[in-house]
Chains A and B, each alone.
Chain A
Amino acid sequence: MTTDQAAERATTPDVGEASLAATLPALRAAFPGAVVRAMVGNHQAVICVAPAQAHAVLAWLRDDPGQRFNYLTDVTCVEHRDPELPFEIVYQLRSLDRKADLRVKILLDPDGPLRVETVFDLWAGADWLEREAWDMFGVVFVHHPDLRRILMWETYSEGHPLRKSFPLRGRWSRSEQTRQALADNPEAQYSLEELSISEAYRALPKDMVERLAAHPREQAT
């Protein structure tokens, strides 16, 4: 690295600091009291918001002309060993226009129900990400259109495997796990609902469209 580059790097603000500076004051002005914590770690701006206002904050982050976080990179859940606030729902946002990243976290009360509002209405890509968080952690995404298991099979009965309280080898004995797995119908993994909400719906064969139209799920789509 030349001295010019080193000097330039020293004077350029950190990308995380820059992202936080561009978002945090406006967010605090728009939603007083919604920001619980804000920090920068590993060049990544992190904002923790109150659960009640989370959906409104995320909608604002997407639609505000100064923010334009139009791409949802990831939705996931983290369980820490911290006994007070073990559960975090993490939204990783990206603004393709502004080339900025922002991580929004919701800290959930472990005593209350693990419920957050879905962001499927803001970013359609949240569909499977939220299903995975439900499958692995048991977080209910309220108003999600199709909240079913996605990694484990739908009749899986042992709980939510990535919870700290879940035993590593599962709850049942190996023979019971094998019996339940073999009893599953492998052709039931992809339901008609799943096909009907896919974007390829119009490209489906005519007889399949007719079968889906006869299905009650299709009325809602």
Chain B
Amino acid sequence: MGLTTDVNPEPDQRELDQISPNWITTRLDFLANWSRSNSLWPMPFGTACCAIEFMATAASRYDISRFGMERMSYSPRQADVLICAGRLPFKLAPVIRRIWDQMPQPKWAISMGACASTGGIFDTYAMVQGIDTIIPVDVYVPGCPPRPEGLLYGILMLHKKIMGESLADPTLRVEHLMGPDGLFRRPEAIDEVSEPFGNSVHQTRSA
């Protein structure tokens, strides 16, 4: 247990050749990332007022078809990016988890708005305190709700992130499944998001 000292500090040269980028793989990366980032089909998960802003983003004035996103995937199996627009009650937690599990790789997630990212003003018994306790999130868009410009900025940040990906990275396309305890993250990490008020034992308003 703990740190071991017998790890070979010199990686095997053949292994290094396989994963280290060369001219071919970087060109392939660029091509794959360029095509992926310019045809991100969104899986809209609109639960609240953020979804209205998302609709405005999709409509003609802001027009996300400029980014190849006009094709809304109402089936998770043809979707690339899950956009959670709005608060997520606990009752919908298994739903968004199942949708995320049904989306094929490569896939990304955007958490749109204060409620999806942190629970927002809904620090109550019914609300998930941030969807990153349920699924992995790539980009958080702040705002209540974010204006379409905000969401577009988040999409452009996701483009940037995708352009930095590499086919040689073996950790990139790993599915983040639920653990044996039925949770996606460590329980302490989930309890932490309710700080500084804590759970019911410490909360300031009750009875």
Q: Please, what's the 1-or-0 string for B165-207, where 1 marks a CB less than 8 Å from any CB in chain A? A: 0000000000000100111100110110110010110010111
Stretch at the interface among A124-132, A169-177, A194-202: A169-177
CA distance in complex: A185, B197 (Å):
30
Residues of B within 8 A of A165 (CB): 207
A-facing mask of B101-114, CB < 8 A → 1, else 0?
Answer: 00000000000000
Is residue B97 within 8 Å, beta carbon to beta carbon, of the partner chain?
yes
Nearest CB of chain B from residue A156's CB, rounded to whole Å = 9
Contact check: which of B124, B178, B182, B187 meets A169 at CB < 8 Å?
Answer: B124
Point out the residues of chain B lying under 8 angstroms from A177, CB to CB. 90, 125
- Contacting pair B190 A178 (CB below 8 A): yes
A153 and B94 CA atoms in complex are apart in Å by 11
- The answer, among A153, A174, A186, for a CB contact under 8 Å with B194, is A174
In A162-221, the 8 Å CB interface with B consists of 164-179, 181-186, 189
Using CB atoms, name the residue of chain A closest to B125.
A170
From B93, B129, B203, contact of A168 by CB (8 A): B203
Provide the residues of chain A in CB contact with B91, threshold 8 Å: 152-153, 181, 184, 189
Contacting residue for B200 out of A170, A175, A181, CB 8 A: A170
Answer whether residue B3 sits at the interface, using C-beta atoms and an 8 A cutoff.
no
Interface size on A, residues (CB 8 A): 27
Q: Are B94 and A179 in contact, CB atoms less than 8 angstroms apart?
A: no
Distance in Å from the Cβ of A47 to the closest Cβ of chain B? 31
The answer to whether B182 touches A174 (Cβ under 8 A) is no
A182-B125 contact in complex given A153-B91, A169-B194, C-beta closer than 8 Å: no
Question: Could you say which of B94, B123, B190, B200 contacts A184, with CB atoms under 8 Å apart?
Answer: B94
Interface residue B133 (Cβ < 8 Å from any Cβ of A): yes
Q: Are B93 and A182 in contact (CB under 8 A)?
A: yes
The answer to whether A175 touches B94, judged by C-beta atoms less than 8 angstroms apart, is no
The answer to whether A166 touches B125, judged by C-beta atoms less than 8 angstroms apart, is yes
Query: Given the interface contacts A175-B183, A184-B94, A186-B98, does A169 sit within 8 Å of B207 by beta carbon?
Result: no
**A172:B95 contact, CB within 8 angstroms:** no
* Bound-complex Cα distance A153 to B207 (A): 23
A contacts with B: majority SS: loop
- Kindly report which residue of chain A lies nearest to residue B182, judged by CB atoms: A179
User: How many angstroms between the C-alpha atoms of A153 and B89 in the bound complex?
Assistant: 11
B129 to A, closest residue via Cβ: A174
Q: Which residues of chain B are near A171, meaning CB under 8 Å?
A: 200
Residues in A neighbouring B128, C-beta threshold 8 A: 178, 181
| Known A168-B206, A178-B93, A186-B94; contact A173-B191, beta-carbon cutoff 8 A | yes
Does A158 belong to the interface (CB within 8 Å)? yes
Q: How far is the CA of A13 from the CA of B151 in the complex (A)?
A: 55
Q: How far is the CA of A174 from the CA of B122 in the complex (A)?
A: 13
Among residues of A, the one whose C-beta sits closest to the C-beta of B189 is A175
Residue of B nearest to A153 (CB): B91
Specify which chain B residues have a CB less than 8 angstroms from the CB of A185 in the assembled complex.
94
Question: In the complex, which of the residues A161, A166, A182 contacts B97, with contact meaning CB atoms closer than 8 Å?
Answer: A182
- A179: which B residues are within 8 A, CB to CB? 181-183, 187
Quote the shortest CB–CB distance from B100 to chain A (angstroms).
12
Chain A contacts of B98 at CB under 8 A?
186
Interface centre among B90, B123, B187 (most CB of A within 10 A): B90
B90–A168 CB distance below 8 A = no
B51 within 8 A of A: no
Name B's A-contacting residues (CB within 8 A). Answer: 90-91, 93-95, 97-98, 123-126, 128-129, 133-134, 178, 181-184, 187-188, 190-191, 193-194, 197, 199-200, 203, 205-207
